[in-house]
Amino acid sequence: MTSPGGPIYSTSDSGTNQYTTLEGSSFSSAGAAGALAMLQELHERAYGSEQPMLASTWRALLILKA
């Protein structure tokens, strides 16, 4: 999985309903973590929490390029 580092159209801290374009690796780490959390939830729903996802599966998902 690859995540964007910039430019990202995002909310701004300059006021309500304000947006700006930002860059940085902080955006990519949050996107990757959120996507993996959703995949972990899907895995638990399909196979139960008694069968955790293998480390090799996590690694494959992280480096997968769509």
Query: Is pLDDT of 2 > 70?
Result: no
pTM (2 decimals)? 0.58
Q: What is the pLDDT of residues 6-60, one digit of tens each?
A: 677 778 888 778 888 877 777 777 777 888 888 889 999 999 888 888 889 888 8
Looking at residue 46, what is its pLDDT?
A: 92
Looking at residue 3, what is its pLDDT?
A: 62
Q: What angle do CA 22, 24, 27 make, to 5 degrees?
A: 85
